[in-house]
Structures are given as structure tokens and as C-alpha cells.
Amino acid sequence: MWRERSAYGFLAPGLILFSIFTVFALGFAFYLTFREWNILEPEKPFIGLQNYQDLVHDKDFGRSIINTAYFTGASVPLGMLVGLCVALLLNQPIRGRGLLRTLYFLPTVTPFVVAAIIWKWLYNGDFGLFNYYLLKTHLITEPLVWLSDKNLAMPAVVLMSVWTSVGFSMVVYLAALQAIPNDLYEAARIDGAGAWARLRYVTWPMLRPSTLFLMVMGIIGSFQVFTQIYIMTSGGPLNRTTTMVYYIYEAAFKFYEMGYASTLAYALFLMLLVFTALQLRLYRRADV
């Protein structure tokens, strides 16, 4: 260690930041789960497992889990499916495909805050473009309050999230498509396989690792969805769009219950840990 001391000097800034803002933060958050830690109250008593007991009986948190599962189950498969279709199209020798790839990828690099504000304008009940064109085409008879309707708020957020995620799925699938050997397609054509058969028996099996990767990353990201909810719906009518991370935010910065918010955060962490372990096990099996 002394011989390589210069290396530790270079590593020190990163290690110090990691230790303070990650390791210490995680440890202190775990410490808070055993206390009634209200920012506004001077007393912060030790309450043992009371926060965990409250978590088990918290119906609002249960509702947030259902909302998060709804968001995940709708946005992740839809974003992957649209991304695959776009990748298959833009993998063909068509004119201007470089420009089209750039245009489809732009929403991915657009900041979430900017995208959420733009889509909030599009959904506006008075002057939004969605209502304007739906009324013009006589698909609806009166403007829809997209983000204030208990049945439309979550689908509206899902649609916006799919728009932002398609570009990433497209890039991953494009890379996977271009890595498939042409010999496989040639052998399939010689055997008389048509376009659909080649897609089903050649392309799709070769895309399986990329699909599992996108599914794992998409589910982890969707479990932590916050920005869209905060800007577009603020929890929505009857808490129909209150996701787990937004519920944690409310507990911490609306009700100032840092102890209970830390408990909620650790519950989310454990859920993601278990789910990610299962996904990685599935990925390794598929890779073998």
C-alpha cells in the first residue's frame, strides 16, 4: 500500500465523496428508521420497529405500490415494443435513416423536466394540442381533462414516459440487430424461410439478451419514477398516480417525517434488490 500511495492519493477525492454521500447517507438513513425523526420537532425519540409496523399497515403505501406496478407494466413493455419496431425499420437501407435515428433518439437526451412540462402543455384541457386535434377530428365531443381525470392521468403519464424511452430501446436493439451474422439470414432464405419466419426464428432469439437487459433497466427505472409525477400530476386525483418514490418524497418533504420516509426508502430498496437478483438470474440462464 505504501509503494502505491500515489494511486490512493488520486482515488481519495472519489472515495471521500462516496463515503460521505453514499455510505454514510445509507447508514444514517437506516438509523432514522428506528426513530420518530420530524424536522420541526426538537425531540427525536427512539421508537424501535414502530416505523416498520406502520409501513405494513399503510394503505396509502400499498396504493403507491399498485400505481408503480401499473406504470411499470404499461410503460416498460410498450416502450420496448415500439423501440423494437423502430429499430427494425431503421435497420433497413432507407433514405435519411441517419437523420431519422437522430430524431427518434432526441427525446431520450431531452431533460425529463423539459419533456414533462411540454407534455403537460399538450395535455392542457383548454389549449392543449391533443384536445384540439381530437375535437377537430370529432373523436371527442368535449375537451378531456387528461391529468385531472382519475382514469386518464396514469395512461397520460405512461404515454409521455414511452415517448422518452423509445430512443434508448431503439439504440440497443439496433446494435443487437447489426451484430447478427448475415450467414444466419442467408441459411434461412436457402431453407425457404420468409420475412416473418426469419424474424421469428433468427432475429428474435438473437435479440433475447438485449431484451432482458432492457427489461431489467426499464423496470428498475420505472420503480423510481418521480419527475413526471411531480411535474404533471402531483400524485393525481385520488392519489391515482402517486408512485412509491413520490410517496417517499411526500413523507419526507411535505410531512417532514424523515424516519418514516427512510423506512419507505429501505422498503423500496429491498424490493428492487430482490427483483434485480431474480432478473439477473434469469439473464444468466438465458445467456448460458
Please state, rounded to an integer, the average pLDDT across all residues of the chain.
Answer: 91
Find out whether 232 and 119 touch, Cβ atoms under 8 Å: yes
Evaluate if residue 152 carries a pLDDT over 90: yes
Which DSSP string do the residues of the chain spell out, in sequence order?
--TTHHHHHHHHHHHHHHIIIIIIHHHHHHHHTTB--BTT-S---B-TTHHHHHHHT-HHHHHHHHHHHHHHHHHHHHHHHHHHHHHHHHTS--TTHHHHHHHHHHHHHS-HHHHHHHHHHHT-TTT-HHHHHHHHTTS-SS---TTTSTTTHHHHHHHHHHHHHHHHHHHHHHHHHHTS-HHHHHHHHHTT--HHHHIIIIIHHHTHHHHHHHHHHHHHHHHT--HHIIIIITT-GGGTT--HHHHHHHHHHTS-BHHHHHHHHHHHHHHHHHHHHHHHHHHHHHH-
Q: What is the CATH number of the domain that holds 279?
A: 1.10.3720.10
Predicted pLDDT of residue 288: 54
Residue 286 pLDDT > 70, yes or no? no
Q: What is the pLDDT of residue 287?
A: 59
- Mean per-residue pLDDT, 108-112: 92
In a domain, 33, yes or no: no
Number of domains making up the chain:
1
**CA 182 – CA 184 distance, rounded (Å):** 5
pLDDT digits (tens, 9 = 90+) for 185-206: 889 888 888 888 988 889 998 9
- Residue pLDDT, tens place only, 121-147: 999 988 899 999 999 999 988 999 999
- Is there a domain that residue 27 lies in? no
* pLDDT value of position 233: 92
* Higher-pLDDT residue of 40, 174: 174
Check residue 194 and give its pLDDT.
86
Asked if residue 170 is part of any domain, the answer here is yes
pLDDT tens sequence across 233-284: 988 887 889 999 999 999 999 999 999 999 999 999 999 888 888 877 877 7
pLDDT score at 284: 73
Task: Let me know if residue 230 belongs to a domain.
Answer: yes
pLDDT at 276: 81
In a domain, 26, yes or no: no
- Which of the four pLDDT bands, split at 50, 70 and 90, describes residue 212? confident
* Domain that includes residue 83, residue range: 49-287
Residue 92 forms part of a structural domain: yes
pLDDT value at position 237? 80
Asked if residue 5 belongs to a domain, the reply is no
Residue 252 is assigned to a structural domain of this protein? yes
pLDDT in tens, 2-30: 788 888 889 999 999 999 999 999 999 99
